[in-house]
Structure 1
Amino acid sequence: MDESLKCNRLFAVDGLVAVITGGGSGLGLMMAMALAENGASKVYIVGRRENKLREAAASYPDILVPLPGDVTSQDSLQAMAQRVRQEKVTSTCFLAKVYQFNCAATYYTVLALLELLSDGNKRRESDAPHSQVIVTSNMVAFQRDPRYGFAYLGSKAALVRMVKSFATLVVGWETRFNTIAPGLFPSDLSAAALAPFKRAKDKDLSEEGAFARSFLPAERAGSVQDMAGALLYLASRAGAYVNGSVLLVGGGKKATTPATY
């Protein structure tokens, strides 16, 4: 019997340290909750609204750490990195990011924390995954439907390409770079936008049957469990051999519109 193949070993994130930008709400909060529930030692949630961060951290006060900051400000990024460094983290550092801004913010955030990630590699146990950056882009990075808007389509596609380029650039730092490209997930913004497309008005967005199969093969929007599963795969030993990749989590939506993947 090989204990290393047990799911509680393969998908464990015990002792993991994460920094999640945009971690106070939406997909970022889903990620923070997934890590907190599954053994992460510290999860720093970054955002501009301190009250929102504190609300989010209240559910896991010993694990989630509110870290007010602005990823569009290089001074703020340096202060954020210094704060995490002062915690004297001894376990492998894992960096998850949710970007609602632009490629420049992603680029400078990575630069601000790259040394910290490298330090985590030096302290990791021999069988532990290397430090990692996970960038959340969007399924529209692969869509060709101009109704999404050329600027939005282009920015998400550029983000995916930049992450892949980072994976090549930092080989010597032993830091992995991967992308999660989510499709339709409930949020304050998406709820109103998706409402006209619902087939069953009485169903929640994430309830099967909410949408016609021709619109979304899964017939529902993504759930907390869907995002948690994707993140835990990449963050754990199960995904340790994954680098420079894109994980599409879209319920099959790509199959219903012009797309390239």
Structure 2
Amino acid sequence: MANRFEGKSAFITGAAHGIGAATARLIAEEGGKLVAADVDEDGLNALAAEHDGRIVAARCNVLQPGDIEAGVATCVEAFGGVDIVFSNAGASGPSSRVDEVQDADLDRMMHLHLRAAIAAIRASVPHMRARGGGSIVLTTSVSGMRQGYAPVLYSLSKGALIQLAQIAAVELAGDMIRVNCVCPGFVPTAIFARSMGFAEKTSEKFARRLDDPAKAAQPLPRACTPQDIAEAVAYLSSDAGSFVTGQNLVVDGGLSLTPGSGDSRAVYAPIISALGLDPDEIEPGPAVWSKLGLGKDRN
């Protein structure tokens, strides 16, 4: 188990923090080598420094044409090929109703999640074929399975990824290339905080305060960690998951088994309540900043 990625090379997007960084560390610690891609170069360099020679940092903006292809090419050049792709980069969209969706926001979210995943598949498949197979994992979300967990555009784009994985799994099975999704629930990371309406800078601080309250949102009474998701990605990417393809592996502590609602505020209510906040103040206001101890640092 300790060397399950020995001789394997991987390409991971969104690798500087959270789930991506946890997965990169796990693969490197278990014998693999990888290219860690993200827009945060400082975060990438710090990650690479932890595993000298096993992790190559590559700046990659998945919204920019060619960055993903260049990242995969870097993996091939550095390690001789690519066996594992983890398309993980993502962000939360605006909290608008479906009848208020703007075309520019829709295009951005679909590009960030769906088009980026397709680009990663397109760039890596020829190299995987040359090596006799490989594993591709996409990060989805429980919000892609049912309504009420996140903003509409985030949910739509994550649902599209689930369908993409099923289509690609069938089409690429003959090449021994497996395509799966890892489907987190509430993971106390910055992207989760942003899905609740918090600005990017503030969301990092807010995420650190979510560890205990998050467990109130699902049946399993503890908060999910990036490591929990990384272990699921590792299973799907390793020989242990060699007969698994086209699946959306849900890692949510039972969240998706609880009664649903069309109102995302109702889903977040246990967390908001545990923080001692008014559910009507999910969109940050003065009371929220005071309760969270964030002072005036709101942007």
The TM-score by the shorter chain falls in which range?
0.7 to 0.9
Code of the aligned partner of 1:111: R
Q: Does 1:141 align with 2:136?
A: no
Q: Secondary structure at the residue paired with 1:244?
A: coil
If the length of structure 1 is used for normalisation, what is the TM-score? 0.79
Q: Retained in 1: the 8 A contact 2:12–2:24?
A: yes
**Of 51, 56, 59, which residue of structure 2 is paired with 1:60?**
51
Counterpart CA distance in 1 for 2:15 and 2:52 is: 14
Q: Deviations over 1:32-85 (max 9, x none)?
A: 111112221x11101122222101212112211101122223322332232222
Distance 1:191 1:76, change over 3 A: closer
- Could you say which residue in structure 2 is the equivalent of 1:182? 184
Q: Retained in 2: the 8 A contact 1:99–1:135?
A: no
Q: Does 1:255 align with 2:257?
A: yes
Q: Secondary structure at the residue paired with 2:31?
A: coil
Counterpart CA distance in 1 for 2:230 and 2:192 is: 19
Counterpart CA distance in 2 for 1:72 and 1:150 is: 20
Counterpart CA distance in 1 for 2:72 and 2:228 is: 29
Q: Retained in 2: the 8 A contact 1:81–1:116?
A: no
Counterpart CA distance in 2 for 1:133 and 1:163 is: 9
Distance 1:63 1:161, change over 3 A: same
Distance 1:63 1:255, change over 3 A: same
| Cα deviation, residue 24, structure 1 | 0.9
Code of the aligned partner of 1:85: V
**What is the total number of aligned residue pairs between the two structures?**
232
Q: Retained in 2: the 8 A contact 1:71–1:109?
A: no
- Could you say which residue in structure 1 is the equivalent of 2:87? 97
Counterpart CA distance in 2 for 1:225 and 1:159 is: 22
The unaligned stretches of length 5 or more in structure 2 are 91-111, 197-207, 262-299
Distance 1:73 1:189, change over 3 A: closer
Q: Retained in 2: the 8 A contact 1:205–1:220?
A: no
Q: Retained in 2: the 8 A contact 1:94–1:132?
A: yes
Q: Secondary structure at the residue paired with 2:11?
A: strand
Q: Retained in 1: the 8 A contact 2:162–2:181?
A: yes
- Could you say which residue in structure 2 is the equivalent of 1:114? 125
**Of 69, 75, 84, which residue of structure 2 is paired with 1:78?**
69
**Of 30, 37, 62, which residue of structure 2 is paired with 1:46?**
37
- Could you say which residue in structure 2 is the equivalent of 1:124? none
> Percent identity of the aligned residues?
25
Q: Secondary structure at the residue paired with 1:66?
A: strand
Counterpart CA distance in 1 for 2:84 and 2:151 is: 33
If the length of structure 2 is used for normalisation, what is the TM-score? 0.69
| Cα deviation, residue 239, structure 1 | 0.6
Counterpart CA distance in 2 for 1:75 and 1:225 is: 30
Q: Retained in 2: the 8 A contact 1:140–1:148?
A: yes
Q: Retained in 1: the 8 A contact 2:182–2:229?
A: no
Counterpart CA distance in 2 for 1:189 and 1:153 is: 13
**Could you say which structure has the greater relative contact order, defined with CA pairs below 8 angstroms and 6 or more residues apart?**
1
Q: Deviations over 1:196-216 (max 9, x none)?
A: xxxxxxx96445x8643xx31
Could you say what the CA RMSD is over the residues aligned between the two structures, in angstroms? 2.7
| Cα deviation, residue 166, structure 1 | 0.8
- Could you say which residue in structure 1 is the equivalent of 2:291? none
